[in-house]
């Protein structure tokens, strides 16, 4: 009996052949993206652009108060002014300008936090996977333990002890998710480790560090990129939750979370003060989540269980 | 089974130990713990007494041993702001927090599971897409924004529900829903994927071949088997629930532990924060331990993997 004649077998799609490097790059090409992903990636670029060039984009100084113009509604509502597109807050500061700076602060903090967590997690994951044995068991035990502690609590302890300096926040936010990288990277390293080219490099006298940098890391870049993208929203939300509670980025610096927190007291008469930054947060997390899900499908990696 | 239990207990103990180390290092890392853990206006004699009590003249490992011994005796210290034992501060605020978290958990399970089942059974159709879009939103929108939107719409605009405090049962509705939404999203997503897994199993095909009717297959063969792995997810979601309750309680001025904990951070009331962190972590660790043991009773295969 041939497989083609068996209806149950023929319906199962054949496993895709291992995709060579150039095919991967082609799958990520802009013109091959579905339309929704095209829009999302353009918007993501726009947000990065906003964060980078905030000082040149804002119509007003984000911290300049104007008591006479406080709690002005957005331009399209009755009583709104074209000069303040999103309206003004309780101190008469221009909300659009503050949102633009808020994107800069929040996205910047989240990105640096992401890098910190990724560096720690990847290093431990590579060490764990390459060395194996007791080192591996110890690191994996640490990962297990960290997963079961609510990360917000650890961050709270850190803030109470070391204050809300930007560097402290970046490190604490980064620490919150390091274990996810360690787990994924270790799994990937265990697979890559058995490849002939690693054995060849070792036979030629390559050290652990050399093998890790030159051969292992480039081969696990795909899953790492997916994980970074998928972790970004949760890091951003962690930072904005802290700032919302008033224990993250300190005033007068505008962070999207602290802006929502400020607006909470004016919900009844001036809902836009809280809603404008809240919409920006939702937009960013939504866009990045969509991109992450798409990347995961295209690169065909399993990062969550 | 005994081996599994011991292994699992060891991991739980290690988790608690790690939390203790973090608290210990955080307090020692910022200078003298006497400055952080005790009111500033204490007399030099009182301070000297404390330094002796905590063994601050000894080496760090010895100090840690003293610290753990003090905690084990139930000496968690005195709130710097409120000037009374931290246990008292927590005892009176515990009930509202537990009630709110309990409500959220019930809503999360009661809505999340049917939503996930629906999404799996009607895969590809409009209802399933809608259900998963809802779940996706619950995943991407943070607690404090859900809270603000609910307060705006149901609290101020429609004026249907109260949004601050915990005076009447109606006060529970908005905070409980806020806390439950991300939980619903997580449960629905997970339920959908395990349902799809189970539906492609051999025994489901066998049941179908036997001529068992579809509703019976779904109820007896699919849902029952898909519910099992969900126990583990619920255990993991408890940590998320605690993260969320800290924020939700602050937004809704809930008279619970959330405000106590977040307030202790901004006022640097370290004894209160320290006890909160240790107690919350202990709860999470205990629940996860319970979940793992329950799971290993229900599905003995996991014991081998351990």
Query: What is the per-residue pLDDT across A150-182, written as a single tens digit (0 to 9) for each?
Result: 778 888 888 888 888 888 889 988 888 888 888
Q: Flag whether pLDDT at A21 surpasses 60.
A: no
d(CA A246, CA B218): 48
At CA B15, angle to CA A242 and CA B103, rounded to 5? Answer: 55
**Residue A226 to residue B283: CA distance in whole angstroms:** 32
Q: Which of B257, B241, B90, B243 is nearest to B176 (CA)?
A: B241
B161 and chain A: CB distance < 8 Å anywhere?
A: no
Q: Where are the domains of chain A?
A: 92-299
Residues of chain B found within 8 Å of residue A245, distances taken between Cβ atoms: 246-247, 250, 262
Residue A222 to residue A79: CA distance in whole angstroms: 51
Q: Do B273 and A271 touch (CB under 8 A)?
A: no
* Residue in A178, A218, A177, A222 with CA at minimum distance from that of residue A197: A218
Distance CA B139, CA A285 (A): 10
Tell whether the model's pLDDT for residue A32 goes beyond 60: yes
Tell me the C-alpha distance between B127 and B285, whole Å: 37
Beta carbons of A145 and B18 less than 8 Å apart: yes
Tokens 């290690």 label which residue?
Answer: B14
Cβ distance of B144 and A244 shorter than 8 Å:
yes
CB contact under 8 A, A285 and B247: no
Residue that the structure tokens 């802009």 belong to: A30
Token pair for residue A47?
């947000």
User: Rg for chain A (alpha carbons), in Å?
Assistant: 24
pLDDT in tens, A98-129: 888 889 999 999 999 999 999 999 999 988 98
User: Which DSSP letter does residue B279 get?
Assistant: H
**Are A281 and B14 in contact (CB < 8 Å)?**
no
Q: Roughly how many angstroms between the first and final C-alpha of chain B, as a whole number?
A: 10
Does the CB of B277 have a partner CB in chain A at under 8 Å? yes
Q: Which pLDDT band holds residue A284 (cuts at 50, 70, 90)?
A: very high
Q: What is the pLDDT of residues A243-274, one digit of tens each?
A: 988 888 887 788 888 888 888 888 778 888 88
pTM: 0.81
C-alpha B84: how far from its chain's center? 27
Task: Please say whether the structural domain A92-299 has been given the CATH code 1.10.3720.10.
Answer: yes
Task: Quote the CA–CA distance of B123 and B111 in Å, as a whole number.
Answer: 18
Q: Which secondary structure element, helix H or strand E, spans residue A5, and what is its range?
A: none
Subunit contact B274:A237, Cβ cutoff 8 A: no
pLDDT at A81 over 60: yes
Of A147 and B286, more confident: B286
Q: Give the DSSP H or E segment for A223.
A: helix A221-244
pLDDT of residue B38: 65
Interface contact B11-A158, CB threshold 8 A: no
Rounded CA-CA distance B270/B27 in Å is 8
**Residue B261 touches partner A, C-beta closer than 8 Å:** yes
Task: Give the residue among A240, A241, A255, A239 at the shortest CA–CA distance from A63.
Answer: A255
CA-CA-CA-CA torsion sign (A288, A294, A299, A303): positive
* A165 CB neighbour count, 10 Å cutoff: 11
Please report the pLDDT score of residue A117 as a whole number.
92
Could B11 and A145 be called an inter-chain contact, meaning their C-beta atoms sit closer than 8 Å? yes
Instruction: Give dist(CA B282, CA B277) in Å, integer.
Output: 8
> Which of these, B240, B238, B277, lies nearest to B18 by C-alpha position?
B277
Task: List phi, psi (to 5°) of A88.
Answer: -130, 165
Q: Is the pLDDT of residue A6 over 50?
A: no
Chain B, 11 to 50: residues with Cβ < 8 Å from chain A are: 11, 14-15, 18-19, 22-23, 26-27, 29-30, 36
User: What's residue A118's pLDDT?
Assistant: 92
Percent of chain A at pLDDT above 90? 8
Alpha-carbon gap, residue A95 to A224, rounded angstroms: 36
Residue A94 DSSP class: B
Query: Can you tell me the distance from the alpha carbon of A243 to that of B265, in angstroms, rounded to the nearest whole number?
Result: 13
Which architecture characterizes domain B86-266 according to CATH?
Answer: Orthogonal Bundle (1.10)
SS3 A279: helix
Which residues on chain A place their C-beta less than 8 Å from a C-beta of chain B? 141-142, 144-154, 156-162, 233, 237, 240-241, 244-247, 257, 260-261, 263-264, 267-268, 271, 274-275, 278, 281-282, 285-286, 289
**Is A275's CB within 8 Å of B18's CB?**
no
What is chain A's mean pLDDT, rounded? 80
* Chain B residues with CB-CB distance to A158 below 8 A: 26
User: What mean pLDDT do residues A133-157 have?
Assistant: 83
- Residue A18 clears pLDDT 90, i.e. is over it: no
Among B146, B178, B180, B150, residue whose Cα is nearest residue B162:
B150
Q: How far apart are CA A108 and CA B215, in angstroms?
A: 52
Nearest CA distance, A285 vs chain B (angstrom):
6
> What are residue A100's phi and psi, to 5 degrees?
-60, -45
What does the alpha-carbon distance between residue B237 and residue B244 come to, in Å, rounded to a whole number? 10
pLDDT tens, residue order, chain B (306 aa): 778 888 888 888 888 888 888 888 877 766 666 666 666 666 777 777 777 766 666 777 777 887 788 788 877 777 777 778 888 888 888 888 888 999 999 999 999 899 888 888 887 788 888 877 877 777 778 888 888 888 888 887 787 877 777 677 778 888 998 899 888 888 888 888 888 888 888 888 888 888 888 888 888 888 888 888 888 888 878 878 888 888 888 888 888 888 888 888 877 777 888 888 888 888 888 888 888 888 888 777 766 554
Q: Tell the burial category of B236 from Cβ atoms under 10 Å away from its Cβ (0-12, 13-18, 19+).
A: middle
β partners of residue B85: B78
Please choose, from the candidates A112, A107, A128, A113, the residue with its C-alpha nearest in 3D space to the C-alpha of residue A281. A107
What pLDDT is stored for residue A124 in this prediction? 92
Spatial CB neighbours of B178, under 8 Å, sequence gap ≥ 6: B143, B146, B147, B150, B248, B251, B252
CB under 8 A, 24+ apart: contacts of B303-306: B303/B1, B303/B3, B303/B4, B306/B3, B306/B4, B306/B7, B306/B8
Q: Which residues of A touch B143 (CB under 8 A)?
A: 241
* Interface residue B230 vs chain A (CB under 8 A): no
Does A1 have pLDDT greater than 50?
Answer: no
Give the Cβ contact number of residue A56 at 10 Å.
Answer: 7
Lookup result for tokens 């239990």:
B5
Tabulate helix, strand, coil % of chain B (nearest 5): 80, 0, 20
Query: Strand, coil or helix: what is B223?
Result: helix
Alpha-carbon distances, residue A18 vs A15, A24, A303 (angstroms): 9, 10, 19
Kindly report whether the peptide bond that precedes residue A252 is cis, defined as omega within 30 degrees of 0: yes
With 70 as the cut, is the pLDDT of residue A10 above it? Answer: no
pLDDT at A2 over 70: no
pLDDT tens digit string along B63-104? 788 778 878 887 777 777 777 888 888 888 888 888 899 999
pLDDT for the residue numbered A25: 66
**What is the spatial distance between Cα A293 and Cα A227, in angstroms, rounded to a whole number?**
10
Please answer whether residues B56 and B63 qualify as being in contact, where contact means their C-beta atoms are separated by less than 8 angstroms: yes
Q: Is A156's CB within 8 Å of B280's CB? A: no
- CB proximity B216 to A under 8 Å: no
Q: Which of A36, A106, A150, A183 to mutate to probe the B interface, most B CBs <10 Å?
A: A150
pLDDT, mean of residues A195-200: 82
b vs e for B178-188, b when ≥16 Cβ sit within 10 Å of the residue's Cβ? bbbbbbbbbbb
- Give, in degrees to the nearest 5, the angle at Cα A37 between A33 and A41: 105
Question: Which residues are A94's β-sheet partners?
Answer: A88
Tell me which chain A residues have a C-beta less than 8 angstroms from the C-beta of B23.
157
């Amino acid at each position: 009996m041939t497989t083609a004649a068996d209806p149950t077998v023929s319906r199962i799609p054949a496993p895709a052949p291992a995709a060579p490097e150039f095919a991967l790059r082609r799958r990520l090409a802009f013109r091959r993206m579905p339309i929704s992903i095209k829009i999302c990636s353009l918007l993501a670029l726009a947000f990065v652009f906003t964060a980078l060039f905030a000082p040149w984009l804002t119509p007003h100084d984000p911290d300049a108060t104007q008591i006479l113009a406080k709690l002005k509604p957005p331009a399209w509502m009755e009583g709104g002014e074209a000069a303040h597109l999103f309206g003004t807050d309780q101190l008469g500061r221009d909300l659009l300008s503050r949102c633009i700076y808020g994107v800069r602060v929040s996205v910047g903090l989240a990105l640096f936090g992401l890098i910190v967590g990724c560096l720690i997690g990847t290093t431990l994951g590579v060490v764990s996977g390459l060395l194996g044995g007791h080192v591996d068991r110890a690191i994996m035990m640490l990962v297990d333990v960290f997963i079961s502690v609510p990360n917000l609590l650890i961050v709270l302890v850190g803030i109470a002890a070391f204050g809300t300096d930007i560097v402290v926040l970046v490190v604490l936010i980064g620490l919150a998710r390091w274990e996810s990288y360690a787990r994924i990277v270790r799994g990937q390293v265990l697979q890559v480790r058995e490849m002939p080219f690693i054995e060849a490099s070792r036979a030629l006298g390559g050290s652990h560090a050399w093998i890790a940098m030159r051969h292992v890391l480039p081969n696990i870049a795909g899953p790492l990129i997916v994980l970074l993208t998928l972790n970004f929203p949760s890091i951003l939300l962690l930072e904005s939750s802290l700032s919302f509670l008033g224990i993250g980025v300190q005033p007068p610096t505008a962070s999207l979370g602290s802006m929502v927190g400020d607006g909470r007291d004016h919900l009844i008469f001036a809902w836009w003060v809280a809603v404008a930054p809240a919409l920006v947060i939702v937009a960013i997390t939504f866009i990045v989540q969509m991109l992450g899900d798409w990347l995961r499908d295209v690169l065909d990696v399993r990062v969550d269980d | 089974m005994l081996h599994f239990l011991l292994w699992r207990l060891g991991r739980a103990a290690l988790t608690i130990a790690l939390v203790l180390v973090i608290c210990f290092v955080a307090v020692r890392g910022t200078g003298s713990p006497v400055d952080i853990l005790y009111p500033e206006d204490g007399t030099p004699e009182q301070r000297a007494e404390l330094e002796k009590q905590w063994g601050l003249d000894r080496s760090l490992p010895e100090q840690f041993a003293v610290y753990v011994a003090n905690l084990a005796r139930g000496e968690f210290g005195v709130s710097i702001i409120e000037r009374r034992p931290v246990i008292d501060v927590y005892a009176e605020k515990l009930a509202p927090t537990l009630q709110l978290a309990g409500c959220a958990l019930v809503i999360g399970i009661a809505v999340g599971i049917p939503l996930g089942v629906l999404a799996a059974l009607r895969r590809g159709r409009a209802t399933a897409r809608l259900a998963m879009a809802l779940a996706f939103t619950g995943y991407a929108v943070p607690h404090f924004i859900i809270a603000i939107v609910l307060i705006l719409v149901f609290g101020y605009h429609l004026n249907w529900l109260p949004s601050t405090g915990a005076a009447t049962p109606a006060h529970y509705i908005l905070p409980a829903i806020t806390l439950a939404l991300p939980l619903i999203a997580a449960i629905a997503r997970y339920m959908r994927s395990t349902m799809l897994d189970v539906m492609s199993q051999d025994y489901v095909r066998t049941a179908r071949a036997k001529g068992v009717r579809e509703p019976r297959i779904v109820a007896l063969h699919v849902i029952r088997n898909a519910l099992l792995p969900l126990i583990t997810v619920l255990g993991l979601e408890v940590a998320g629930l605690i993260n969320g309750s800290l924020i939700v309680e602050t937004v809704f001025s809930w008279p619970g532990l959330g405000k106590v904990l977040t307030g202790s951070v901004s006022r640097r009331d370290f004894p209160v924060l320290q006890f909160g962190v240790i107690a919350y972590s202990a709860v999470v660790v205990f629940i996860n331990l319970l979940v793992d043991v329950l799971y290993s009773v229900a599905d003995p295969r996991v014991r081998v993997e351990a």
